[in-house]
Structure 1
Amino acid sequence: MFKKLFAALGVGSRTRADAPYAKDELNVVHRMLFADDAGQLFGDAPDVRVVQAMAQDATEESRVRLLAAQWLRAHGHAPAAPQVLGVVIEVPLEHSMDTLAAYADGRVRYIGQDGGTAVFEGAPEDVAQQAKTLVAAAVAAYGAANPHKPAHAPHNGRMRLTILAQEGNRVLEGSLHSIMQDALAKPVLEQGRSLLQLVVRPASA
């Protein structure tokens, strides 16, 4: 988990560029966290107004809103209400990677380096609220992030913060030292650490 990173980041990742996890199903789950491939979700010829409404519906699941916005951009339509709706934090570790995803609706997904997963659908309340706090912290960093999605998983002791927004995902990547020296990225990482502590706490806590 991330505590290894904060204790001593520096091990190089040996993950494959296209498959950071040993199990194929985990790699599928990992790719879905970014909500950047609408695929056939909306069919061949959806009503643009319906997709637009989904993108701006605050009661809709964040990932669905992101996928709707992605479809709109791909078809020449700007989302009606572009917003930052999620954050994915990836930390490469020996042979694998820790991935924590948080969304503006309070949902959380975690994939551990050992292949274990955790899914939170808005409960417990402290997890949902911390997820929202993490996403809020990423809003200021969005403008300074790289709009280009890397074609490979982070490696060589680097971590990656991907900010998910209706205008398109953006990336901040670097060593722990460089992230912590960045006034915009540091709060995102710190809020991510706080969320992770809630996600991996013992069930009896």
Structure 2
Amino acid sequence: MSEVFNKSVAATKRELTFIYEMLFCDELSFYAQTLEDLTPYPWSVLFNPAATAPDLYEVIDNSDDNSRVKLLAYNKLLQGHHPVLRREILAVIVEVGLQKGQDTLACYRDGTARYINHTGKIVFWDSVNPHSKELTDRIFDESEKMIAHLGPWEYGRLNPPKPGFARITLMASNGLYFGEAEADTLFSDALAAPALQAATAFLGYITTKITK
């Protein structure tokens, strides 16, 4: 597939915060600010306050090629206190706190990604190729091994990690799972390291392929 939609752009602090919040797909209002028309499917369902659990599961089942839409639908189910019996990881988000900000990489099951660099640059990776998908699949394969040893986080999403700390968040259909520690400790942790190493390899690849 073509990579013409993969690019790096500079952003203001406000834009960085907005993009960061959108990475987690747990707040529909952010998407309302970016869409010109909320009436096409699946947005007509996601923004419908009367949407039922079957309506949302239909969106999930029809959105295999869009992990963020699936996450939005699952999160709306969770926010409506509907049971979610499936467990599928749809996003892996790695954050590293630095003295001058933070680096954040969000990888989605469909192969797309976002990378926010502490310098104010954002990489949008939307056009997947076979090699990038292979790297993404490795991230999720390792994350599946990791999630088997974790329990879901039952509270709200945390603030970004402090300088010197790192966090890996697994955004699953039934909630979020994460590990956090000092960066050196987390990147050498037997459970988290394989997924983090896979994410590092993916980041190294996409930053050499973007259109600047």
Q: Residue 184 of structure 1: SS of its match in structure 2?
A: coil
TM-superposed CA distance for 1:150, in Å, is 4.9
Give the RMSD, CA atoms, in angstroms. Answer: 2.3
Residues 104, 132 of structure 1: 8 Å contact kept: yes
Structure 1: runs of 5 or more not aligned: 1-20
Q: Identity over the aligned pairs, expressed in percent? A: 26
TM-superposed CA distance for 1:176, in Å, is 2.7
2:143 to 138, 144, 161: 138
2:166 to 159, 167, 178: 159
1:75-90 → structure 2 map (5 Å cutoff)? 75-79=80-84, 81-90=86-95
Matched, 1:50 2:55: yes
Structure 2: runs of 5 or more not aligned: 1-10, 33-45
1:202 and 1:55 map into 2 onto residues whose CA distance is 31
Amino acid of the residue matched to residue 153 of structure 1? P
Residues 108, 131 of structure 1: 8 Å contact kept: no
Residues 86, 174 of structure 2: 8 Å contact kept: no
1:182 and 1:162 map into 2 onto residues whose CA distance is 15
2:138 and 2:156 map into 1 onto residues whose CA distance is 24
2:163 and 2:122 map into 1 onto residues whose CA distance is 24
Match of 1:103?
108
2:15 to 17, 25, 30: 25
TM-superposed CA distance for 1:121, in Å, is 1.6
Amino acid of the residue matched to residue 163 of structure 1? L
- TM (normalized to structure 2)? 0.77
Matched, 1:61 2:66: yes
Provide Cα deviations, 1:51-101, integer angstroms capped at 9, x if missing partner. 112224462411111111111112122235331111011112222111111
Aligned residue-pair number? 184
Provide Cα deviations, 1:114-157, integer angstroms capped at 9, x if missing partner. 11111112423322321222122111222426614553210130
Residues 85, 174 of structure 2: 8 Å contact kept: no
Match of 2:35?
none
1:37 to 21, 27, 32: 27
Residues 99, 110 of structure 1: 8 Å contact kept: yes
Q: Residue 175 of structure 2: SS of its match in structure 1?
A: coil
2:205 to 185, 195, 198: 198
